[in-house]
Amino acid sequence: MRKMPGLKRGTKYKMADYAKEHYDFPLTKKSEHKPLKGVRVIDAGNMVAAPFATVLLADFGADVIKIEHPKYGDGQRKLEPIMDGIPLWWKSVSRNKRCITLDLGKPEGADIFKRLVKGSDVIVENYRPGTFEKWGIGYDAIRAIDPRVIMLRISGFGQTGPYKNRAGFGRVAEAMSGLTNLIGEPDGPPMSPGYPLGDLIAGIFGSLSVMMALYHRDLRGGEGQMIDLALYEAVFRFLDFDPIQYDQMKIVHKRTGNRVAYVAPSSMFKTKDGKYLTLAASTQSVWLRLAEAIGRIDMTTDPKFIDNSARVENTVECNGVVGGWIEQHTRDEVIEHFDKHGVAYSAVFDMEDAFRDLQYRAREAMVRVPDPDLGEAIVQNVVPKFSATPGSVDFLGHKLGEDNDEILCGELGLSKQKLKELKDAGII
């Protein structure tokens, strides 16, 4: 790969200056001081929410052991994009994890699972409520083995309530939470983000909850516990002010298209060269800078635009003025002008834009990771950045059962002959 020329302080760059052939992100560097080193996590989940929770822990040093069905594997291995038989999503969501196969539904598989529980800190699963109990490895069984174990259980609707046995995933959670109802044009149908946002939100809550439980156990003398996380509740929490608004004002938040219902001006604006930018004047100071940038300082004293409440009342007109100015200029011209005036905005990026962007490069937001299947692949770097104990991307997702020998023989003490017998029986 070609090297990106060094960035010179004070030099003005445009996105076009950073040609695609220069997207030389740094090679990943293994951190030796990860904050979760020594924490063992058993990832017994499937698909998106649970694996995303555990990869966030793995990035910061947790020893995550991914358990998959020996025949079917995790469902994410079958999801597009798949290149030459290699599941790219899997490579990303299972980075930094060791992978073993184990049929938990068979008694001997459940017995091996119980052996793994001993000495582990966290178990994560996202099957329908009652599934682990049916297999004899529910929380009561886990607690009997080791009361210090923390068990995170992610499901569509939680472990209790009339909907607990319903199948649930991100799209369902987004709809029930009310998020889907907020996306789309006012006169159009509700829209899905088209990405498993609900699963990823739940994954963030899942990793956060595990850390709080570990803190309680290890620093406050507590025991392990079960964490019951419902997908729809995680997404619902992101709607922050909507419940209190309905409770106090009986207002149902409706779709507003690209406008933010509580801020003006705010929308998606098209530039002269057919690109898009977005902005929201969420504070008065931002509005004053924006008005100055577009040469309309007169609007700052106009009663219709004097403060945010007034601007929200006159959103269409306010957005029209801002949009009218933007559509007379190219994206690069708008960016240069808005940067000069300190306006809060962003060009609407696609992934090619992200790969070309100087801020992504300067922050090392992506890294190159060697991989036996791909040679090398670029993935998101660890978030957030720690000054003393940073995480790192050490390797990408392993093949199905790649670490069976290492874990089942090397760490559980099973013989090679036993491993073969288990494989022949379809248990691993």
- Which one, of 81, 132, 80, 77, lies nearest residue 109 by Cα? 132
The runs of H, that is alpha helices, within 304-369 are 308-313, 315-326, 331-341, 351-356, 358-362
d(CA 281, CA 240): 20
Torsion angle (degrees, nearest 10) of CA 224, 225, 230, 234:
-60
301, two tokens: 């004293």
CA 183, distance to chain mean position in Å, is 19
Domain boundaries along the sequence of the chain = 27-239+383-424, 266-356
Res 23: pLDDT: 57
208, two tokens: 């956060």
Phi and psi at residue 344, to the nearest 5°: -85, 115
- Which one, of 237, 156, 170, 177, lies nearest residue 199 by Cα? 170
With a CB cutoff of 8 Å and minimum separation 6, the contacts of 202 are 49, 52, 53, 154, 170, 173, 229, 231, 234, 235
Domain 266-356 falls under CATH 3.30.1540.10: yes
d(CA 28, CA 51): 22
117, two tokens: 């529980």
d(CA 268, CA 258): 6
Which of 98-107, 291-300, 325-334, 351-360 bottoms out in mean pLDDT, i.e. has the lowest? 351-360
Average pLDDT rounded to a whole number, residues 163-174: 93
Question: Does position 2 have pLDDT exceeding 60, yes or no?
Answer: no
17-29 per-position pLDDT tens digit? 444 444 579 999 9
Res 8: pLDDT: 46
| Residues 242 and 167 sit within 8 Å (Cβ to Cβ) | no
d(CA 142, CA 305): 61
54-63 per-position pLDDT tens digit? 999 999 999 9
Res 18: pLDDT: 43
Phi and psi at residue 348, to the nearest 5°: -80, 110
Banded pLDDT at 260 (limits 50, 70, 90): confident
Q: Which CATH class is domain 27-239+383-424?
A: alpha beta
409-425 per-position pLDDT tens digit? 999 999 999 999 999 99
Mean pLDDT, the chain, whole residue set: 93
pTM: 0.90
**What pairing do the DSSP bridges indicate for beta strands 82-83 and 345-347?**
unpaired
Question: Does position 4 have pLDDT exceeding 60, yes or no?
Answer: no
**Is 199 a known active-site residue?**
yes
Distances (CA, A) of 397 to 46, 99, 137, 299: 14, 8, 26, 54
DSSP 133-164: HHTT-SHHHHHHH-TT-EEEEEESS-SSSTTT
Question: Does position 351 have pLDDT exceeding 50, yes or no?
Answer: yes
Angle CA 134–136–139, to nearest 5: 100
Catalytic residue among 43, 59, 74, 199: 199
